Amino acid sequence: MIAPARTAALTALREVNADRADLPAALNAVRPGLQDERDRALATDLVTGTLRWQRQLDFLIEHFARRPLAKLDFDVLQILRLAVYQLIHLDRVPAAAAVNDAVAMTRRARKTSAAGLVNAVLRAISRNSHRLPLPARPPDGDPRAYLEISLSHPGWLADRWLERYGFDAAETWEQFDNIAAPLTLRVNRLKTDRASLTRALGDFGVAVEPARYAPDGLIVTSGNPLRTPLAGTGQFVLQDEASQLVALLGAPEAGMKVLDTCASPGGKTTAMAAMAGDRAEIVAIDVRSARVQLLRETVRASGAQNIRVLQADLEAGLPFGPRFDLVFVDAPCSGMGTVRRDPDIRWRRTEADLAPLAAAQLKMIRNAADAVGAGGRLIYATCSSEPEENERVVETFLSGDSRFAAVNLRKDRPAAFEALKEVIDETGVLRTLPHRHGLEAFFGAVLRRVK
């Protein structure tokens, strides 16, 4: 009998690699069919890990099958990827179980003629698992081949990081991407504080430690806070540490009028409400109905009373005049800074995606600028690692709008920004980098309306 976790993992992997679903949606579709928590955890690990290492796995499959991937049936390729991942990267899975289930899945998929190939390829890889023919690390090997194949990243992305940061940094970055991200919480200061929440979680067997940079961040080291009674109380939200730092750029004060565009799921919105002690007037918008509903739920759970949620399309223009003290644009982007948490992104995005994304982002920041009042701040942020979506969007915007000037956060950093001092780069913008900070790659720039 094929292990249920492997069957579910194959279903999810098919959906992702056929471009019918992203990773979270594919996993959400198969988890309800798994009754055992251990099966759900294994299925998640199998799909996530296979996508993370997919380029390396494909290289090995081609080598031992002695044929290009294009010659392999789609379903057979997914079965091979799952099995090779288990053989190479999961010590706790017996090799025989991985091979036998892969052969059985091949037959169940009515690909009986390929069962012999699957068996032969997997047994050959298992026999050679300690001497795999992967590109060597420099100085013995080519740096590009090593970064692309051995560390499983798109070649175009490896080229960019090599050029900008050098080999050592690019290697550290890719190694960071290939390790599962910890669960990170943000304490909701409207309901509790970090010390109190730490004690409360400990009562339910959940151990946490303070985040390195984010003042309200907690890193889960053991246990699952989502399976405790605290999960539905609004005392914490799941929020990546780099995202928490970007939210700090807002630093609203009591009485301020704040507009958070592209606000769903609401982590930054509710963080800013907490910073102001729920005494800032915040309008939070998003474009799609499902995302607006998710935003409403996050706001409701937070307990914040001064957040108004509206549906609006920033790219099409805003129904507001220049009335806000602070406008936040956390722009939709390639997501290339979150490859660790979303490993399928590295294969779904291409270099050609960056230019149209940047064009849309420029339109968004220009529309958002019209809602900033005199002396107000405009914050532009992304979870992208690539300059086209970050500093170049800001530069292009400033070159065409004399009303705004960039704020250099090295020289002009209010006390509220003190937690950000280690993640402000030499140009005066927030930039988190895996090889420097051990965080996902996020960007944030602050602009002030001076005319």
Residues 153 and 199 both lie in one domain: no
Residues 304 and 157 in one domain: no
Buried b (16+ CB within 10 A) or exposed e, 95-105: beebbbbbbbb
Q: Which of 238, 258, 284 is the last residue of a domain?
A: 238
Residue 111 and residue 49 share a domain: yes
Peptide bond into 229 cis (omega under 30): no
User: Do 420 and 284 sit in the same domain of this protein?
Assistant: yes
**b/e sequence 182-200, b meaning 16+ C-beta within 10 Å:** ebbbbbbbbbbebeebbeb
Token pair for 448 = 């002030």
Query: What are the structure tokens assigned to 307, written together?
Result: 């957040």
Residue with tokens 């959940």: 206
- With tokens 């009562």, the residue in question is 203
Nearest CA-CA partner of 148 in 54, 51, 48, 22: 54
The backbone region for 444, taken as left when phi is positive above 0, alpha when psi lies in -120 to 50, beta otherwise, is beta
List the strands of the sheet with 236-238, edge to edge.
207-210, 217-222, 184-187, 236-238
**Does residue 34 lie within any of the structural domains?**
yes
Report residue 435 as tokens: 């090889």
Tokens of 281: 């007037």
| Tens-binned pLDDT, residue by residue, of the chain (451 aa) | 889 999 999 999 999 999 999 999 999 999 999 999 999 999 999 999 999 999 999 999 999 999 999 999 999 999 999 999 999 999 888 899 999 999 999 999 999 999 999 999 999 999 999 999 999 999 999 999 999 999 999 999 999 999 999 999 999 999 999 999 999 999 999 999 999 999 999 999 999 999 999 999 999 999 999 999 999 899 999 999 999 999 999 999 999 999 999 999 999 999 999 999 999 999 999 999 999 999 999 999 999 999 999 999 999 999 999 999 999 999 999 999 999 999 999 999 999 999 999 999 999 999 999 999 999 999 999 999 999 999 999 999 999 999 999 999 988 776 667 789 999 999 999 999 999 999 999 999 999 999 8
Shared domain for 190 and 219, answered yes or no, is yes
Is there a domain that residue 314 lies in? yes
Phi, psi (5° rounding) for residue 26?
Answer: -65, -40
Residue 40 in domain: yes
> Does residue 313 share a domain with residue 414?
yes
88 and 173 both lie in a single domain: no
Q: Which domain holds residue 85?
A: 4-127
280-319 residue pLDDT tens: 999 999 999 999 999 999 999 999 999 999 999 999 999 9
pLDDT tens-digit map of 156-186: 999 999 999 999 999 999 999 999 999 999 9
432 phi/psi in degrees, rounded to 5: -95, 140
- Looking at every residue in the chain, the average pLDDT score rounds to 96
Cα–Cα distances in angstroms (integers) from residue 153 to residues 56, 175, 228, 261, 339, in the given order: 9, 10, 36, 32, 10
CA distance 259 to 284: 6
Q: 């996530």: which residue's tokens?
A: 48
Name residues whose C-beta falls within 8 Å of residue 258's C-beta, 6 or more positions apart in sequence. Answer: 250, 252, 272, 276, 280, 281, 282, 283, 324, 325, 326, 327, 328
Q: Are 225 and 277 part of one and the same domain?
A: no
Residue 78's CATH number: 1.10.940.10
Residue 397 domain-assigned?
yes
Alpha carbon distance 48, 223 (integer Å): 20
User: Looking at residue 407, what is its pLDDT?
Assistant: 95
402 and 269 fall within a common domain = yes
Q: Considering the domain boundaries, does residue 92 fall inside one?
A: yes
CATH number of the domain that residue 364 is part of: 3.40.50.150
**Please, which residues have CB within 8 angstroms of residue 110's CB and are 6 or more apart in sequence?**
none
**Are residues 187 and 200 in contact, defined by beta-carbon separation less than 8 angstroms?**
no
- SS3 at position 359: helix
The reply to whether 115 and 167 lie within a common domain is no
Same domain, 93 and 72: yes
Residue 415, judged by CB atoms within 10 A of its CB (0-12, 13-18, 19+), counts as exposed
Q: How many domains does the chain have?
A: 4
- 434 and 177 in contact (C-beta within 8 Å)? yes
Residue 60 lies in a domain: yes
Same domain? For 24 and 88 the reply is yes
Residue 12: inside a domain:
yes
CATH code: domain of residue 225: 3.30.70.1170
If phi > 0 it is left, if psi is from -120 to 50 it is alpha, else beta; for residue 266 that is left
Is 410 inside a domain boundary?
Answer: yes
Is omega for the bond preceding 265 within 30 degrees of 0, making it cis? yes
Q: Return the closest-CA partner of residue 326 out of 398, 431, 407, 231.
A: 407
Structure tokens of 203? Answer: 């009562």
